[in-house]
Structure 1
Amino acid sequence: MRVIGWLCVMVFMAACAELPRGAAVDKEILKTSSDVDADFAIYPVTRAFLPSVQSWPSVGDEQYSWIGASKGHNSQVISAGDTLNIRIWDAGENSLLTGPGSPVADLSGVRVTGAGTVFIPYVGKINVAGRTPDSARAAIQNSLSEVVPSAQVQVTMAEGRMNAVDLVGGVRAPGSFPMPDQNFSVLSLIAAGGGVDTGLKNPQIRLVRGGKIYGTSVDRLYENPNRDTRLRGGDKVIVEADERYFVSLGAAGSQSLHPFTKDQITATDAVAILGGVNAARANPKGILILREYPASAVRPGVRGPRQQRVVFTLDLTTADGLFSARNFMVNSGDVVLVTESRLNSARTVLGLVGSVFGVFNTANNLGN
């Protein structure tokens, strides 16, 4: 009789009190979805559903465009702010440019003006911007030929601000780098800076040009040479860690914030990153991905969800669910919730009942 009494007490406790557990059961979260005034929508992730969700807006991370590779001059091109060293040779007697015993006139440190010109004595202003050093040499010599027919010209240049690019962070040696030619590319600049810092997870490239920001990842540049865009003077290149993340909760291998380790993270990747599911507690049919869309995503005429708040459900016990999870992309800021198995509460009750029997038997033995 005492055993029956104890069992009745335990059943009563289980019925009247919430048993301790680490996560919600899927029905607890999804039970109100069918209400007329429900403020969230549920979508099972299946093969039939994937084409629809792939056309919905991405959320949680800013989308950047990128500039494809192109070809430029194989030599330097003079820009405003560059400095030219001009050497003029004239062997003629009574030269206007050279003195007695010296056939050379050096014009050192001649700065190219904002208008793209340099001043040459007896000739005036000559436009050199946009020319290669050799083309500028020919233009200066041609202009001098009218006053100094025997003059020969040499031109070298030192790059100014408009012929240099900045490499900011994420590399071993950031700084300002002169452009050796007009085919100086993003990867060439990173190499000049000593390479990407190995401590960065999924390093991202940000190219700042003319008040606009372009973006891609280092891995994409490595994999596709057609994305290795050439730089322009004044560009700023930033190398930084991927700031995107997702959160895992519930009966997962770990409850934490997980940074993106590659450009695209699938639901299968996310489950692996969070350490899988707890075999003793988790419900493999109840993996939920919670996401919130902007109001613009649910406007008429826009392909998107029915509600701003969306719960995607994954069933990892079927082939369709497993294959679909491999093709469902996790967005930055998503919450991956591994729900508790409904059998776990039953296990808890049975464990408590077993404990009661153990206590009862011990008491009986002591009494005897």
Structure 2
Amino acid sequence: MGVGSNQPLPPPIPHCIQAGPNRFTGIKHKKAVARHMKQVSKLFLTALMALTLAACGSLPRGAAIEKEVTQDATAPESDIAVYPVTRAFLPSIAQWPRTGEARHGWIGASRGSNAQVIRPGDRLDLLVWDSGDNSLLTTPAQQVANLSGIRVSESGTIFVPYVGNIRVSGRTPGSARSLLQRRLEAIVPSAQVQLAMTEGRGNSVDLVGGVSRPGNILMPDNNFTVLAAISAGGGVQNNLENPQVKLLRGSKIYATSVAELYENPHLDTRLIGGDKLIIEEDRRYFLSLGAAGREAQFPFNRDDVSALDALAIIGGVNDSRANPEGILILREYPASAISAGVRGPRRTRVVFTLDLTTSDGLFSARNFYIQSGDLVLATESPLTDTRTILGIVGSVFGLVNTAGNLGN
């Protein structure tokens, strides 16, 4: 309308309506600030909770920290001792008792006769030839007397008609034939003796297992060795881990590894009748736990397994979790190892610590040998807790951002 118009002006807009848009914007801003402060409070509480768990050692992790395992050794009444594995320490532990396995000696090789030797349980076949007309053993139509299957008694003798008991045990078949010939000549001057021997239990060994063809093996001579018996049994089974040889001789047990026999011919001992051979997998083992490549029980794959060998067998340690300065080997000694006059540890339960970040630690680990039953523990790095806290806080930040985006 023009200025001079007589039409009335529209009513003024109420103040509350005029301020409406700015007022609504302020309310929305205040609500956003409140939501943000609430989320920040949650973030603070979450971070505080994570820090509290870290202080209490309650954060989730797969293994202990080194100090958590070794701290008990400082208590006066503790039965735990801690020893860092260093070059200076290796000569001392080399004189400590071995644990976790029965120790059996071995018999060095010796030479025996290449001929057969008659033993109790063997069987002899005798043919006595006599062409005399008045022979006590033969007839004119049958000039040979066949005395077969004569068993050598436990006392080592055989019975021959008209001669009596003759001791033949310990003699070779040729020597026994000559003895019989002389004894018969006193009665039958024209007699000729032929002797053949069949080995019995006293001239055989038992291959109990671990070969392709286990069973009783007849010894062809008195120079029959362990490796010869294994060969006669078809060789060691291929699926055995570090196969061991156990020799049972009477009430005594001797043991070594097949690898030792292969490498050292002077250990290929001569067998005697009645020996029992058992070829079996190495029964020794060690365990791995913590931030290791694998947590499991592992058999020994060789006679001597060093700490570095053990770490390689378990697949190393976890690069993101493990503390290379805190590789622990836990071992328990018998009470006799800490007796007076015995070179050994101060306490029965021992923790050996390895530091793989130094050259001395690495070289020492190569010369420190694992014993059966040892536990290889890869401890967690202290940084793992920090990474866990950062991960929790980061997760919360992500939730906060997501919630903020949804609120907008």
TM-score, length basis structure 2: 0.88
| Alpha carbons of structure 1 residues 80 and 235: separation in structure 2 relative to 1, 3 Å | same
C-alpha deviation, 1:115, in angstroms: 1.5
Q: Deviations over 1:249-275 (max 9, x none)?
A: 100011111111111111001111111
Cα distance in 1, alignment partners of residues 140 and 131 from structure 2 = 10
Cα distance in 1, alignment partners of residues 289 and 176 from structure 2 = 66
5 Å-filtered alignment, 1:144-293, equals 144-293=184-333
Alpha-carbon contact 2:50-2:392 (below 8 Å) kept: no
C-alpha deviation, 1:366, in angstroms: 2.8
SS at match of 1:265: coil
Tell me the equivalent position of 1:9.
45
Tell me the equivalent position of 2:60.
20
Cα distance in 1, alignment partners of residues 48 and 78 from structure 2 = 33
Please state if 1:37 is matched with 2:37: no
Tell me the equivalent position of 1:84.
124
C-alpha deviation, 1:355, in angstroms: 1.6
Size of the alignment, in residue pairs? 368
Q: In structure 2, give the amino acid aligned to 1:10.
A: T
Cα distance in 2, alignment partners of residues 318 and 119 from structure 1 = 78
Tell me the equivalent position of 1:72.
112
Which structure 1 residue ranges, 5 or more long, are not aligned?
none
Q: Decide which of 369, 386, 404 is 1:346's aligned counterpart.
A: 386
Identity of aligned residues (%): 61
C-alpha deviation, 1:39, in angstroms: 1.7
C-alpha deviation, 1:15, in angstroms: 2.8
Q: Once superposed, what is the RMSD of the aligned Cα atoms? A: 1.2
Tell me the equivalent position of 1:113.
153
- Write out the 4+ residue segments of structure 1 that deviate beyond 6 Å after TM superposition: none
Q: In structure 1, give the amino acid aligned to 2:343.
A: R
SS at match of 1:97: coil
Higher mean alpha-carbon deviation, 117-126 vs 2-11, is at 2-11
Higher mean alpha-carbon deviation, 89-98 vs 59-68, is at 89-98
Cα distance in 2, alignment partners of residues 262 and 90 from structure 1 = 64
Alpha-carbon contact 2:331-2:374 (below 8 Å) kept: yes
Alpha-carbon contact 2:87-2:360 (below 8 Å) kept: yes
Which structure 2 residue ranges, 5 or more long, are not aligned?
1-35
Please state if 1:311 is matched with 2:356: no
Alpha-carbon contact 2:158-2:165 (below 8 Å) kept: yes
Q: Deviations over 1:344-367 (max 9, x none)?
A: 110111111222222222222333
C-alpha deviation, 1:109, in angstroms: 0.5
Q: Which entry has the higher C-alpha Rg, 1 or 2?
A: 2
SS at match of 2:67: helix
SS at match of 2:279: strand
C-alpha deviation, 1:7, in angstroms: 4.2
Q: In structure 2, give the amino acid aligned to 1:58.
A: R
SS at match of 1:31: helix
